[in-house]
Structure 1
Amino acid sequence: KFAIPIYCNSQTAEAMRCFGLGEHKNWRIFRTGGEFTICDILVQSFPVPHDAVEPVGYAFHAGNRGLGFITDLGYPTKMLIERLREVHTLVIETNHDERLLQDDPHRPWPVKQRIMSRHGHLSNAAAASVIEQLLPGKIERVVLGHLSRDCNTPALATAAMRSQMARAGRADLEIFCALQNAISPRFHIGETLGGDFQPTFESALFNTAAL
């Protein structure tokens, strides 16, 4: 209705067009592994290993602060770790508790194997290991997300992360869990070089120039 731009790589755009978005006119196609800007925000993309069409993670930088976002990945690549060393807040999936997944009576074994594979999802322990690889670094806050409804709990995910951070000497790290049925707290990441970016960001959203 509003021709809001869709930012994605070429293969994702093609897949979305095949699933009903063929009439959309405002595509912003980027190269996976490349960078682009939205107003004052520098967006870095990087490939992630997952069984989907050209999946990516993101690092957003504004001023001297950074936010990372990685969900749906089986393991951390070297490029992923390097791109995330400069972020201060990271949203990361803690998809499942390994024991709960293995004991789950509803999923067949092939599905469990897919979830636990290198192109599946991060467990609580695997996500904690990713954060440990970012130490020492600029990371100050971790937001846990993409939790399985029946193979994980916020308490298990948070406890696994806190335990690993305590062993790594970073018990001071802020840890939050994003819930599926509730709004998370509002996090202040930092300021952009130009101050309040919302008006220009809204203008960018409704600019209908297609790529």
Structure 2
Amino acid sequence: MGAFLYGAVLQWKLDIRSKTLLITCYIIPLLFFAVMGGIFSSVMPDAKYTLIQSMTVFGVTMGALSGLPPTLIEIYGTDIKKVYTANGVPLHLGFALTNISAFIHLFIMSVILYIAAPIVFDARIPENPLLYFGCLAIFIVVSLSVADIIGLAVKDQTKTSMFSILLFLPSIMLSGIMFPINLLPKAFETVGKIFPATWGYRLLSGHAFDFGVFWPLLVIFLASAVVCGILIKRLAK
């Protein structure tokens, strides 16, 4: 219990001083919403029906891929790792607390978008809020699991940013939030299906829970979990 409390306090202190977390989980997604929300609403009037979902997919993907890996590196690639060990805190606890913290921040950001979009751009609120937020939680968890691999596998901040961008750009461009996915060449449409953003957008935009959309996210999560488990064991050696 003491190790858990120590880890939680340490993670809280890291979050408070993390400019990366503030920028990637709040500032950039909300700025993108303020600018692109207006453009989408003006150019494509029908965009209001999925504006909340598209802006949320962008924000979650940005926050997960660009915000979480640097935080993990700050723990496992610096002397903080030694602090954890010296105080008897299991390394996997730091991993868990980091993901919980990122989940909370991304969920808060998504709620802000959910409330602001109808007020600012007359966006259509999802028909079933309970289903929507349940699907949102699933999408955030899967997105974070992919980001975890970058944070655990890459130990250099510069390389981390590079890998994050390499995943972020195709995730957004091929997900369908910028333009209908059926306008893409078949090859690009197929590639887009390997990213959580594509399935997350479909899941959030649906009027009912669709297992056909859920199971690819489940596969991505399970595969990421296995890889993360292997990487954490290596870090513990």
TM-score by length of 2: 0.28
Instruction: Judging by fraction of residues, say which structure has more helix.
Output: 2
TM-score by length of 1: 0.30
